[in-house]
Amino acid sequence: MYINEVNLSPLVVAEPGESYQSQTNLNRWIEVLVDCPGSTGLFTYRSPAQLEIKLGDILSVPFGAQQVGAIAIRFLAQPNIDLPPEKIREVEDIVSVGFFPSAYWELLNRVAAYYYTPLIQVIRVALPPGLLGRSQRRIRLVRGGVDKEINNSKFQNTLTPPLVSSFLTPTARQILELLQAQPAGDYSFAYIQQKVKSAYRGIRELVRFGLVQSYLEPPRLTRPKLQKAIILIDATDSDLTTRQREIVEVLRRRGGELWQSELLQICSASSSILKTLVQKGYIVIEEREVLRTEQGPALAGDRAKSLTAAQANALEIIQSIDGFAQVLLHGVTGSGKTEVYLQAIAPLLNQGKSALVLVPEIGLTPQLTDRFRARFGNKVSVYHSALSDGERYDTWRQMLTGEPQVVIGTRSAVFAPLPNLGLIILDEEHDSSFKQDSPIPTYHARTIAQWRAELENCPLVLGSATPSLESWVSVRRQEEQGKQNSTHTSYYLSLPERIYSRPLPPVEIVDMRLELQQGNRSIFSRALQEALEQLQERQQQGILFIHRRGHSTFVSCRSCGYVLECPHCDVSLSYHHTEEGAPQLLRCHYCNYTRSHPKFCPDCSSPYLKFFGSGTQRVAQELARQFPQLRLIRFDSDTTRNKGAHRTLLTQFANGEADLLVGTQMLTKGLDLPQVTLVGVVAADGLLHLSDYRASERAFQTLTQVAGRAGRGEDPGRVIVQTYTPEHQVIEAVRSHDYQSFSQTELEQRQALNYPPYGRLILLRLSSLDPIQVQNAAQIIATALSAEEGFEILGPAPASILRVANRYRWQILIKFSPDELPQLPDWEEVRSLCPASVSLTIDVDPLNIM
């Protein structure tokens, strides 16, 4: 835990809307958590009389030579006796009024304790960017001024300012020339240090001569966006010109208020005419806040739909829950889980409560958000990392108002400060995107959502067609215990059929070994080729799923076998095609290193270099060659990098502007496209054969989810899965849509090996630029841990990809039984075994151990 010597449990923190009595005399000193790397514990500051600081406020405080963000933790009647009062510095300002209710504060502390993370790091994740800012030291040129020190010097009568530079040392002269070359004459101290060796001496000299000024730039905090509004206060126009009358008339017709920019545009006028109207007393100009929130398209209103018997039963049970309970809503693809969510939320909003809906990735949010906005209008907000800092800041502040609302977001939205929370929903709860691998805290949104639901005393609904084995075991086990104890805290609700009794699409498995034996060397089997030809004839649409983006997964020399690799990572470079005639580019998918495709092998100079493997680009090219009549859209992280790209591409496809959607994992995540009748999986084997105990579970989930995109409309669906291992247990389970038998087989294997959900894991990730140091550090830590009892140590071992971005990576896996929680190591002692050059991340309950 971050603060070892301070007991935070009895802290009183700010409740929203609570009134505070003035405690100027009692609360003259305040302890704060400071947002500064390396700082530990609480720091004491003096509370100025002019500031009404409340617990939980975000403050700006001086810390060393900079100003940093801080959280007000508790008041002190007297400072620590070891601190001389004259050395205690004052709080600079209040950045944001406190919003940490006691349940929210407890949640943050629980996250810090469970994930072995400094509390300030957790707070930083919970807050929108920019609220905890850091000042920086800057140096600026003093234009035409000479310090009094020069005037008092022995050069007083002979030295004029332009000649000062001739008496400077070379370092000071270099800095002066650097500043003079820039129009503003202003650089950060850090930048000057990069450009000039021993810069601090030169700056000290220039400050002494009065040629430059050293100052502290306050943190660039996110602030409300203000815009000028024009308000009409007098409509009589006796002394106005014709032009001025026009402006007054426009304002009168528009209700007496307009944004200045809008008014000037309508009237084709300049701001000088508005100043005249202000002077004559007809209008006033006010600065008003404009909320920066993500704007969706205009949508027609939507009404609640009639439910199937299974949907109605699930809704009735969810609405009957009073207080905390965990609900696993296990519904096959297309069974109408979203409609259950919508109807569960509707009465809560009428009761003045809010709902939080978490989705795995941004790509999911356009469709889901549109459905929620069509039902609930402007009560729906979106919160995720792809929003601008201003949009996140304003959306976050809107939550604090306490108005009943629905917030839809990715994993970081689990910290959304919604007061009066009535329901939390995790859609596609099995998805690994809910887990953060880095930076710390390495939290799982599902775990935190469960804690939050407990603290807020509201239900948590986990929805999925392919539940994670952790949720499956946890809910079924607790449900059984609840039946015995007559206290339900867990519910398993099943939606076994699609709405309108539509059948699940039949899954056809194609053995690509037979295709090859029968002379088909195409990446498309004959069955898939036939299905693609029928698509346009029938005016239907299809989806092709490919495991990887790019054109080819690696480039190899056919003469000597040399594979082109990234110089910074131990992986092969993938070929990315840009456009016809453009240079051929090779790119690393780990560090984004890019180089041109060589004409000759770097090892043997052979010209015979060949592309191997198939990414989304290669498949798209092959489709264009074999099926020129098919219109297609690529949907992967290459084509959806720009803001709004997910929505644009999906809208184009939904409007029938393409016959085929070709993409990666994104296609599996909750897309509801009723016109899709065909789903093709080009190569299922890329998902199956990975050195990870979760590989089978992930492969089953991915293939089942992508298969579920077919046949959601009036026309029946068809799924074609191409594989070289049709006998694999995952392929067999996907063929029959059989979650039960797959989970039973997989759980037996996990239990035998004591892997989750029966055992618990903690993964230590070490990385360094020095391969010897990181290996030595890993061995030292593993040796120290093996001296303790109660857990099993696996490793140390190099990561499956040893080097990424020039950093060498080693791992140590700790495995133990959750029922008999061992005395886990003192993590601060473990960290102390790492030299400064080695980075250590403690990943609790890791999903990715490769």
Structure confidence by residue, pLDDT tens digits, 198-248: 888 899 889 888 889 887 776 666 666 778 888 888 777 778 888 888 888
The band of 411, judged by pLDDT with boundaries at 50, 70 and 90, is: very high
Structure tokens at 840: 């250590």
Candidates 630, 637, 669; CA nearest to 653 is: 630
The Cα 211–Cα 199 span in angstroms is 15
Candidates 99, 55, 112; CA nearest to 417 is: 99
Q: How many residues does the chain have?
A: 850
The Cα 448–Cα 454 span in angstroms is 10
20-29, 541-550, 560-569, 577-586: the lowest-pLDDT one: 20-29
> 3-state DSSP helix/strand/coil percent for the chain, to nearest 5?
35, 25, 45
143-147, 187-191, 566-570: the lowest-pLDDT one: 143-147
Structure confidence by residue, pLDDT tens digits, 451-487: 999 999 999 999 999 999 999 998 878 766 666 555 5
Q: What's the alpha-carbon Rg for the chain, to the nearest Å?
A: 32
More confident residue, 580 or 756: 756
DSSP per-residue letters across 435-453: B--SSS---BHHHHHHHHH
Structure tokens at 718: 């068809």
Taking the mean position of all CA atoms in its chain, how far away is CA 127? 13
Candidates 517, 510, 531; CA nearest to 724 is: 510
Average per-residue pLDDT in the chain?
82
The band of 766, judged by pLDDT with boundaries at 50, 70 and 90, is: very high
The answer to whether residue 21 scores a pLDDT higher than 60 is no
Q: Report pLDDT for 163.
A: 57
The type of residue at 554 is F
Burial class (CB in 10 A: 0-12, 13-18, 19+), 686: middle
Q: Quick one: average pLDDT of 625-647? A: 77
Q: Percent of the chain at pLDDT above 90?
A: 24
The answer to whether residue 828 scores a pLDDT higher than 80 is yes
Task: Assess contact for 501 and 711: CB atoms under 8 A.
Answer: no
Structure confidence by residue, pLDDT tens digits, 173-191: 999 989 988 888 899 888 8
Structure confidence by residue, pLDDT tens digits, 659-713: 888 888 777 766 777 788 899 998 888 788 776 788 889 999 989 988 888 887 7
Q: Quick one: average pLDDT of 749-776? A: 91
In sequence order, which residues have a C-beta less than 8 Å from that of residue 28 and are 6 or more positions away? 46, 47
The answer to whether residue 489 scores a pLDDT higher than 90 is no
The answer to whether residue 94 scores a pLDDT higher than 80 is yes
Q: Report pLDDT for 637.
A: 64
Q: Report pLDDT for 717.
A: 87
The answer to whether residue 250 scores a pLDDT higher than 70 is yes
Using the 8-state DSSP alphabet, how is residue 170 labeled?
Answer: H
Burial class (CB in 10 A: 0-12, 13-18, 19+), 486: exposed
Taking the mean position of all CA atoms in its chain, how far away is CA 19? 35
Considering only the C-alpha atoms of the chain, give the largest distance between any 2 of them, rounded to a whole number of Å: 100
State the Cα torsion 398-399-404-409 to the nearest 10°. 110
| Strand ranges, E, within 626-734 | 632-635, 660-663, 676-681, 718-723
In sequence order, which residues have a C-beta less than 8 Å from that of residue 402 and are 6 or more positions away? 16, 17, 419, 420
Q: Report pLDDT for 281.
A: 84
The Cα 96–Cα 221 span in angstroms is 10
Q: Report pLDDT for 614.
A: 58
The answer to whether residue 366 scores a pLDDT higher than 80 is no
The answer to whether residue 822 scores a pLDDT higher than 80 is no
